[in-house]
Amino acid sequence: MKKQLILSLALLSAGAVWAQTLRLQPDNIDKIIENLTLEEKARLLVGRENSESDKGVPGAAGVTQDVERLGIPAVVLTDGPAGVRIAPTRPGDSHTYYATGFPVGTVLACTWSPELVENVGRAIGEEVLEYGCDVLLAPGMNIHRTPLCGRNFEYYSEDPVVAGTIAAAYVNGVQENGVGTSIKHFAVNSQETNRIEVDEVVSPRAIREIYLKPFEIAVENSNPWTVMSSYNRLNGTWTQSSPELLKTILRDEWGYDGLVMTDWTNERRPSWERVAAGNAILTPGHDWQETDIIENVKSGRLSMDDVDEQVRILLEMIVKTPRFKKYQFSNTPDLDGHAKLTRRAATEGMVLLENRDNTLPLKSTGKVALFGKTSYDFIAGGTGSGDVNKPYVVDLMTGLTNAGFTIDRRLKEYYQAQKNLVDKTNAISGERNRLNEPKLSKRNIERLAQENDIAIVTIGRQAGEGGDRQIEGDFNLTSDEREMLENINDAFHALGKKVVVIMNMGNVMETASWKGLPDAILLAWQPGQEGGNSVADILTGKESPSGKLTMTFPVAASDIPAVNDFPTGSGSRHGDHRRNVDYTLHNEDIYVGYRYFNTFGKPVSYPFGYGLSYTDFEYSKPVVKATADGFTAQIAVKNTGDIEGKEAVQLYVSAPGKDMEKPALELKAFNKTRSLKPGESQTLTFHVKAKDLASFNAAESQWQTEAGKYEVKFGASSSDIRATASYNQKKVLTAKVNDVLKLKRSLTPVSQHTSK
Ligand code: GLC
């Protein structure tokens, strides 16, 4: 008896000692889960606002919770796509924590250069690491369903192949630093109006081909540590509570094995349901959510298996983090090196829209009449969680001065007196209330034309998270802007002097009604903290523009296929089932962007894929060869001009269209030359898989590549096809998928009420 007692006491104390020494390791996660209490598991699955934890980084978006007993640390989640979003200063700390303000998503996409985007991602990832964070809540990669969504600046394109490819490059770059990313917002977060509640009503075909496809490409071509489930509902079900989306499609079909976290919703939605659906972190996180999980496990509504599955996924992510590895971060990332990178990267995403009589590059620096309030208050990025606390922003006035131009002093002083009146108080919508363009009399403008060599005019637009754009006064030019532009044009052209317009915005605006006025238009987008220098580098020819549009510029808002199925900035949070507020019908189906305009022959102001260069390029006869799983294509591009430049070549395919209704053409691949000197050429190679030619047959719930002759088109844009070839798909390919995310409301597809 005594021996047994001694033995059991010895075992107990050994167990206690062992339990105390049980610490999370990559190879003991099962053991840890066995030792976690239900309360601890619930704690792990529910995050906290960064401000509510002493384990975070000031200003970061949030943290997970720790379980010190088992050596499970809290990890830090921080925004955002254009750079690390943390507080730039800390009370009692003389060090500063500014992060580089990189170009926004639209700029990165318009470079058409995954290599450049990976380099930017790598730099952002270094700042995530050195500022002590673990997961960057980026890239934002929702489709530009219309130009009116407030957050388009954070996203990439109207086209799924561009969006997915650029997102994958961004993820690979960031994660080279040993930190994580979060591809967001999964899925169909197509509007900001009532984004927390809205039910996005979409056909299964459009869901698969347009809205999920970018995420599928990103998962296939990178390995994002996390996915962020979006706020909205999709066909009646919260995406955050949809196992069909988060498990059946994301994991069973696509093979994703990372972590899903929710977007930051404080709505009292069933927390147990969101864990069961496949979220491993409920953010921002409140104690009532932990209670909800515990109570529903005890009631049997939430299985412990579901809880353990998500805890395992979370711990597998945690053991990869710098925080778990106790990385000694420096708080001194390479901000100087990144400033140089962002300056150059921005120039590669800017798009030259007009350049009459080779106005640009400017032959010499001289005296500039710099118009437009935004010239003196340049917009580096959008508002909301996608904004970055940058060390500075180089405005256009400074950039031009740095480049050796002389800015008209009186005009500068006039605008600078106006500048401080911009309402920057509200992080989400404040900057959108930018003052109307200050008025200048015709006589003043005529005097300025006398006294200066050239007019440069900036048109600025701001938008961001939490609200969509208006058509009047936002998408369209304001009457003040139009009057200013016309008066400047008259005055300077009367003296044979040039007018250059700089568009400083994160999204599309109306251009058709005024683009004939100036001699040149450069779409600078929201180019990050070095914006003014980047624009000057293009204007002076130090950098040659090679950006191309990854979205369509329509002639008018009324031409946008979804314009009647989109909120125009109105919207309530809790409407009474108001259309475009509480539910939004995607009647345009798959006909988003150029898929609509090219298929239905609608004219546009600037087409998808469009962008001028300072030089010209010639495309050779392409060579297309069938391979075991599709085809490869080669084409040589030659610089036939007298200025060095790069050319982004787009490969479109027009399907036979016998088995289903198809868009006139679809982008299937793209490539970009290195910088080619005059006379130089480069052969570009493209690989296209037959499965990527497939359309989604909803009736059969299968991807379907029809047999027959496909036209292969090499475009300088979607409307400027320079060379064609063909590819013969010998047999039909099909791939069954789960028949999920079913439509619960009827749609009237645009093809039924739009004549071809
Ligand atoms: C926001 C955004 C999301 C962001 C998160 C944390 O509401 O929708 O993109 O990462 O909350 O700030």
SS3 35: helix
Distance of CA 143 from the midpoint of ligand 1 (Å)? 17
β-partners of residue 623 are: 634
Distance of CA 465 from the midpoint of ligand 1 (Å)? 8
- The ligand 1 atom at the shortest distance from the C-alpha of residue 184 is 9
Between CA 733 and CA 727 the distance in angstroms is 15
Record the tokens describing residue 487, joined without a space: 């008066």
- H or E element: which one contains 499? strand 498-504
Q: Pick from 585, 591, 661: which is nearest to 206 by CA?
A: 591
Q: Pick from 229, 313, 236, 294: which is nearest to 265 by CA?
A: 229
Q: Pick from 96, 120, 109: which is nearest to 164 by CA?
A: 109
Between CA 352 and CA 354 the distance in angstroms is 6
Edge-to-edge, what's the strand order for the sheet holding 702-705? 695-697, 702-705, 733-736
- The ligand 1 atom at the shortest distance from the C-alpha of residue 264 is 11
pLDDT value for 419 = 62
- The ligand 1 atom at the shortest distance from the C-alpha of residue 189 is 8
82 lines ligand 1 (CB under 6 A): no
Write the CB contacts of 731 (distance below 8 Å, at least 6 apart in sequence).
Answer: 707
Q: Pick from 278, 216, 212: which is nearest to 244 by CA?
A: 278
**Catalytic-residue membership of 334:** no
Helix-, strand-, coil-residue percentages of the chain, each rounded to 5: 35, 20, 45
Task: Give the residue, out of 193, 264, 282, 429, with the most ligand 1 atoms within 8 A of its beta carbon, to mutate for a pocket test.
Answer: 264
pLDDT value for 172 = 98
CA atoms within 13 A on the CB side of 93: 10
pLDDT tens-digit map of 157-215: 999 999 999 999 999 999 999 999 999 999 999 999 999 999 999 999 999 999 999 99
Q: Which residue's CA is the nearest one to ligand 1's atom 8?
A: 263
Between CA 314 and CA 123 the distance in angstroms is 26
Distance of CA 432 from the midpoint of ligand 1 (Å)? 19
Distance of CA 385 from the midpoint of ligand 1 (Å)? 6
Catalytic residue among 199, 263, 292, 453: 263
Record the tokens describing residue 251, joined without a space: 């994991």
453 lines ligand 1 (CB under 6 A): no
Tell me how far CA of residue 235 lies from CA of 14, 204, 291, 468, 624, in angstroms: 55, 9, 29, 21, 41
The residue count for the chain = 756
Between CA 646 and CA 617 the distance in angstroms is 9
Q: Answer for the pair 24, 68: CB distance below 8 angstroms, yes or no.
A: no
pLDDT value for 752 = 64
- H or E element: which one contains 618? strand 617-619
- Burial call 139-176: b when 16+ CB within 10 Å, e when fewer: bbbbbbbbbbbbbbbbbbbbbbbbbbbbbbbbbbbbbe
pLDDT value for 432 = 47
- The ligand 1 atom at the shortest distance from the C-alpha of residue 195 is 8
Q: How many CB atoms lie within 10 A of CB 699?
A: 9
Averages of pLDDT over runs of 10 residues in the chain (756 residues) are: 70 62 96 98 96 91 98 98 98 97 98 98 98 98 97 98 99 98 98 95 98 98 98 97 98 98 91 97 97 98 98 98 98 98 98 98 95 95 96 98 98 84 46 70 98 98 93 93 97 98 97 98 98 98 98 97 83 66 95 98 98 98 97 98 98 98 98 98 98 98 98 98 98 98 86 55
- The ligand 1 atom at the shortest distance from the C-alpha of residue 182 is 10
61 lines ligand 1 (CB under 6 A): yes
Q: Pick from 175, 176, 260, 167: which is nearest to 219 by CA?
A: 167
Concatenated DSSP letters of 381-420: S-BSTT----S----HHHHHHHTT-EE-HHHHHHHHHHHT
Write the CB contacts of 751 (distance below 8 Å, at least 6 apart in sequence).
Answer: 589, 591, 661
234 lines ligand 1 (CB under 6 A): no
CA atoms within 13 A on the CB side of 635: 31
What does the DSSP 8-state code read for residue 481? Answer: H
Concatenated DSSP letters of 43-107: HHHB-EEGGG-SSS-TT-SEEPPPBGGGTB---EEE--TTS----S-BTTB-S------PPPHHH
pLDDT tens-digit map of 594-623: 999 999 999 999 999 999 999 999 999 999
137 lines ligand 1 (CB under 6 A): yes
pLDDT value for 571 = 45
SS3 576: coil
pLDDT value for 14 = 63
Q: At residue 504, what are phi and psi to the nearest 5 degrees?
A: -115, 90
pLDDT value for 268 = 82
- The ligand 1 atom at the shortest distance from the C-alpha of residue 231 is 8
Between CA 159 and CA 156 the distance in angstroms is 8
Q: Which residue's CA is the nearest one to ligand 1's atom 11?
A: 264
Between CA 3 and CA 453 the distance in angstroms is 102
pLDDT value for 6 = 72
Q: Answer for the pair 244, 262: CB distance below 8 angstroms, yes or no.
A: no
Between CA 142 and CA 152 the distance in angstroms is 8
Between CA 445 and CA 486 the distance in angstroms is 11
Distance of CA 264 from the midpoint of ligand 1 (Å)? 6
Angle between helices 213-221 and 160-175 (to 10 degrees): 30
263 lines ligand 1 (CB under 6 A): yes
Q: Answer for the pair 213, 164: CB distance below 8 angstroms, yes or no.
A: yes
Between CA 609 and CA 144 the distance in angstroms is 14
Q: Which residue's CA is the nearest one to ligand 1's atom 9?
A: 385
Distance of CA 743 from the midpoint of ligand 1 (Å)? 27
